[in-house]
Structure 1
């Protein structure tokens, strides 16, 4: 028996199994109740420590005692075979499902049950659904960096937009913006697949990326040839925004993802101005002022607390 001091059972493994899932504890509790009903536990050291009533008369007949003992051993054997999912009754463990999200302005690091880590960029949502045969995740919004623990038996699959990214031990970024997905590989090898469009019933396209490459796709467009990724694209987990001749409109769009303070341009034509520099994401007003100073523009707060960047007013002639 599992409770008997002479039991040839790994007690630590049993306790890990029982505490791993409330359903395990409930199943074992039902088994205990069955034993109690049969008065078998009362005849063991565990039963005596539980102060269970002894029903010696019931077990005075040797054949009954052996019959109940055999039945109890069978129950324990079934439980033992299920510990760790080995033996004749091996089955996939139920999915380990969880959802993680980051707030606006927050960069959040999450440790997963398989040893992998995920870094969530600002305003991101990720759902995790692990099984014994696959590690599947769903990125519905934002951006995430996946540092994948190697597991040859369980592929690591990130679903995003209309496609997926498959890896086994590597580091890569996935970003979702509307119906578009961007993937950047930092280390290892990954396979990017896009699903067939409504008008195309062929198999999904697959592209394999090498370190330093990126690829982007949308809901109704096929995968294209991977392109080199900019070095600045990999630095977002540091909390810095790095721009290298980036359009001002694009730089402001990135900055606005990290703050409830909105930066805008008084003249849309300023959006095509190019900017180079590194800015901290935690201070929108300071970032706007830094951008304005580097480009010779003017940054002013609105009554609502937002910031508007405009061209400097011409100095009147004297």
Structure 2
């Protein structure tokens, strides 16, 4: 096995563990497997530590705390290098959440990490230190880390529109799980959902990759691409002048799933919207829906697609008509 394939395997393994930790505390068996993986080879520790900064979140912090508590109770791991590293990594994660400087390695310049989040129904404009601008959609969460050589954004959830100031010596990278979108100076929109992410380029061009070691795909102005996990879909041409996205307050769909629509309406709705049966998730829907009025959008949906909307003080429930 070549060193390149080893690096790729370790990267994918580290990304998989980070994804699992970001979903919440591990069970007892998974904790043991994780620590065994970390302790198996120095490259595992190094890879996990280098990726930790781009995956930081409150959920991850809690999972790390839970795993750390379990690890320190194990006699054979007491005072080992792996434990000392784990304690350091855990402390570093807490510092990231606290928005202060953290130096990942002795050879990497320190940088400030900022977290920005929006509530349900809220949009927010952010001007970054390089004069790039980010417009965050509702119920979105981003981490931003700038160094002298790199501009890094981690879009944890939701949607964001990026207007990037050109700097060829300082690439602007947006991470979406293991995938990435890299720009120099351009404008693009990223909408991250539960199952896939859409990237639409409005000006300039970006390079999109499913993982660190994948060959990137060039996506130019007037084109879009869908990312599913580490898999890239086909680049498709669109008419930007006629494109309607979340910034307009409307959602225009053509043959998307009901799950896709409900997920985006939930970003705006004060009442949670749930689909009663998994069998309804894949119903294909089309039309223009007003994001700021989820009740009206659901009534339209029910009328056109023969569904029933049940409303209580806390939620909307979508069911089939009897």
Please indicate, yes or no, whether the TM-score normalized by the shorter chain is above 0.5.
yes
- Which of residues 114, 132, 135 is equivalent to 1:119? 135
Counterpart contact for 1:120–1:143, Cα < 8 Å: yes
Counterpart contact for 2:207–2:218, Cα < 8 Å: yes
Measure how far apart 1:220 and its partner are: 4.8
Measure how far apart 1:146 and its partner are: 0.6
Does 1:210 pair with 2:216?
no
- Which of residues 291, 295, 301 is equivalent to 1:291? 301
- In structure 2, the CA distance between the partners of 1:247 and 1:151, relative to structure 1 (3 Å rule), is same
SS at structure 2 position matched to 1:119: strand
Counterpart in the other structure of 1:279: 289
Distance 2:268 2:216 in 1: 33
Give unmatched runs, 5+ long, in structure 1: 1-91, 197-202, 314-318
Counterpart in the other structure of 2:263: 253
Distance 2:298 2:262 in 1: 8
- Which of residues 163, 168, 174 is equivalent to 1:152? 168
> How does 1:126-165 map onto structure 2 within 5 Å?
126-165=142-181
> How does 1:300-311 map onto structure 2 within 5 Å?
300-302=310-312, 304-311=313-320
Measure how far apart 1:129 and its partner are: 1.3
Cα deviation 1:103-154 (Å, max 9, x = unaligned): 1222222111111111112221111111222222221222211111122332
- In structure 2, the CA distance between the partners of 1:279 and 1:209, relative to structure 1 (3 Å rule), is same
Measure how far apart 1:171 and its partner are: 0.7
Measure how far apart 1:235 and its partner are: 1.5
Distance 2:233 2:257 in 1: 24
Measure how far apart 1:295 and its partner are: 4.0
- In structure 2, the CA distance between the partners of 1:265 and 1:230, relative to structure 1 (3 Å rule), is farther
Does 1:228 pair with 2:237?
yes
Query: How much is the aligned-residue C-alpha RMSD, in angstroms?
Result: 3.0
- In structure 2, the CA distance between the partners of 1:118 and 1:246, relative to structure 1 (3 Å rule), is same
SS at structure 1 position matched to 2:216: strand
Radius of gyration: which is bigger? Answer: 1
SS at structure 2 position matched to 1:205: coil
Distance 2:282 2:150 in 1: 45
Measure how far apart 1:190 and its partner are: 0.9
- In structure 2, the CA distance between the partners of 1:151 and 1:301, relative to structure 1 (3 Å rule), is same
Distance 2:152 2:207 in 1: 14
Q: TM-score when scaled to structure 2?
A: 0.57
Q: TM-score when scaled to structure 1?
A: 0.57
> How does 1:230-245 map onto structure 2 within 5 Å?
234-245=244-255
Distance 1:230 1:275 in 2: 21
- Structure with more of its chain in helix, by fraction: 2
Counterpart contact for 1:261–1:285, Cα < 8 Å: no
Cα deviation 1:280-299 (Å, max 9, x = unaligned): 22232232123223445443
Measure how far apart 1:94 and its partner are: 5.3
Distance 1:300 1:275 in 2: 19
